[in-house]
Structures are given as structure tokens and as C-alpha cells.
Amino acid sequence: MGLTPIKEVGRFLTWFFAVVPAKIFAHTKSLLLTAEDIFQFGANLRLWLAIEPLFGDYNWRGRLIGFIFRGFRVLATLIVYLVILLIGLVAALLWWMLPWLIFTMIK
């Protein structure tokens, strides 16, 4: 009976430092998978490296336009992925720093 408060504190610490950050990272992964469905990074990278033409225009102009357009799209997709990763990482770090931030504000 005397160990119940200690178990509760242990459960809270496990929830605070392990469960919630794991959920933050799982949500970040879900957002990245949704972004992959929208931007199709893999397909664009493959077509960009193969210099496939855009809209079926197989002359040199179509290949050049496709290469430039897909290059910008690959770069924009990488930027979006990086922003999503940074937001997830910052959210987890802020969550872990929350007790320290609260205690420094109370002083």
C-alpha cells in the first residue's frame, strides 16, 4: 500500500518522458507519409534523374522543362519534409523542457 504513490509517480514520469514524445514522433511520421502521398518525392526524383519529359513532350524543350520543373519540385518537397521534421523535433524538445520552463517561470 505504501508503494502506490511511487508507482503513480513512475507512471507519470513514463508517460511524460516516453509516451507523449513517442506520440509526437508518430504524428510527425504520419505527417511525413501524408506529405509523401501529396508531393510524391520518390516518383519525382526518379523521373527527374531520368530526365523524363513533362506532359509527354519528347523533344529537347520538353525534357528541359521537365528537368527544371521536377528539380524545383524535388527541392520544394525536401524543404517541406525538413520543416515537418523540425517542427516535430522542436515539439518533442519543448515537451521535455516544459518542467524546467515552468520552474524557471515560477522563481
pLDDT band at 107 (very low <50, low <70, confident <90, very high): confident
Over residues 90-99, the pLDDT tens digits come to 999 999 999 9
Place of cell 506520440: 23
**What are the extents of the domains in the chain?**
32-106
Mean pLDDT of the chain: 91
**Single-letter residue type at 106:** I
Note the pLDDT of residue 2: 59
* Count of Cβ atoms closer than 10 Å to residue 58 Cβ: 10
d(CA 98, CA 103): 9
